[in-house]
């Protein structure tokens, strides 16, 4: 099965500590969360870390497929806005026109 779907390239959460004018900033880069039954344990472990993270200043979502994003990404944006109401969300997509179908829109589209 893994030969057919592959496994995520990045599997570890990376932290980068950066000194800015306002102080020290910790940037966390989370690996891909996959919706594949065969990678459930991996996805659940990543989701747990995401759910337990409270100090979020910005969120970026990358999805390049197009219309499937309405079904897959829009509910995620809604939940993120509920949990982090003051945190800007950027959606990186190859098809920005799909956002017109979102009920809950990202703050920025790139």
Mean pLDDT of 94-103: 85
Instruction: Identify the pLDDT of residue 90.
Output: 92
Q: Encode pLDDT of 17-63 as tens digits.
A: 999 888 888 888 777 665 555 567 766 776 777 777 777 888 888 77
8-22, 73-87, 94-108: range with lowest mean pLDDT: 8-22
The set of residues, in sequence order, having a beta carbon less than 8 Å from that of 39 and lying 6+ positions away, is 5, 7, 8
Domain residue spans of the chain: 1-55, 56-110
Q: Is residue 90 a contact partner of residue 108, using CB atoms and an 8 Å limit?
A: yes
Q: Higher model confidence: residue 3 or residue 79?
A: 79
């Amino acid at each position: 099965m893994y030969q057919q779907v592959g496994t995520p390239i990045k599997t570890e959460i990376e932290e980068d500590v950066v000194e800015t004018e306002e102080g020290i900033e910790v940037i966390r880069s989370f690996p891909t969360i996959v919706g594949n039954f065969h990678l459930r344990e991996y996805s659940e472990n990543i989701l747990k870390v995401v759910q337990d993270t409270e100090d979020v200043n910005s969120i970026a979502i990358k999805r390049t497929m197009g219309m499937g994003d309405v079904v897959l990404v829009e509910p995620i944006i809604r939940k993120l806005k509920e949990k982090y109401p003051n945190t800007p969300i950027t959606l990186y997509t190859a098809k920005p026109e799909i956002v017109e179908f979102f009920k809950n829109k990202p703050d920025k589209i790139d």
